[in-house]
Amino acid sequence: MQNNYPLQKAASDFRIRNGIGACEPIRMKSWLPKLGVMALFKPMSDNFSGMAIKHGDHRFIIINANHRVSKQHFTIAHELYHLFVQEVFVSEISNAGRFDKKDKVEYDADWFAAYLLMPEECLLSLIPKPELTKNKITLTTIVQIEQYFACSRHALLIRLEAMGLIDLPKYAEYKMGVKHSAELLGYDTTLYEAGNKDLVIGDYGARAKRLFDEGVISESHFISLMNDIGKDIENLANDNEQEE
């Protein structure tokens, strides 16, 4: 059974510090701006889940839009470890969710994410009492929990296995047909599909414009930065002239 009190406490303290209840699901899109974190969702190689960058008080993350939305949520929580908990952090390219003990920093970031998204007391409260013994938890309960937390099935099963509620054969059974199991129970399947391509959370455009206005970056650099988020500044300027 996983026993990592420092990371559990860090996740709990993070929730308290940011006014998030102990059993409140975290909605990343509305929460990131409150943390002052700017996020950009772009298609990336499947080998990378995301990247975090910290410069002074500025925090920035890139999330792989090719991954399932549930995986994206876990990746964001993973990156928050790098940005707010890890000491002496500048930047990191991540493959969140591996829970690889060979890389201590990434391993700690994965467990922080699991604790942050799925606090143990709350997780236990969502499981019917008859299912609170090893391998008794049902697939219906699994789907209900992942829908509540908007978490990945993989991360949830690892969490349950570490808590002694399932063994590895049960983990292998429940990790199959994830989207199909949700469909059979009538749930929306957005959580299990790729999404958020080119979504920007935060003031990316405003920051780029400020740098241009202050002469820090050239016009061509500004145009390039805005193109990165799907904004064609040159055409927008032409459209504006035509409207006038």
- With a cut of 70, say whether residue 76 has pLDDT above it: yes
| pLDDT for res 55 | 79
Query: Comparing 97-106, 160-169, 195-204, which segment has the lowest mean pLDDT?
Result: 195-204
pLDDT value at 228 more than 80: no
The pLDDT of residue 233 is 65
Res 236: pLDDT: 53
Residue 118 lies in a domain: yes
Residues 118 and 184 in one domain: yes
Residues 187, 100, single domain; the answer is yes
Q: How confident is the model at residue 242 (pLDDT cuts 50, 70, 90)?
A: very low
Other Cβ atoms within 10 Å of 56 Cβ, number = 5
Q: Is residue 243 part of a domain?
A: no
3-state SS, residue 16: helix
How far is it, in rounded angstroms, from Cα 163 to Cα 133?
Answer: 10
Average pLDDT over residues 78-84: 96
Question: Do 131 and 46 belong to one domain?
Answer: yes
Overall number of domains in the chain: 2
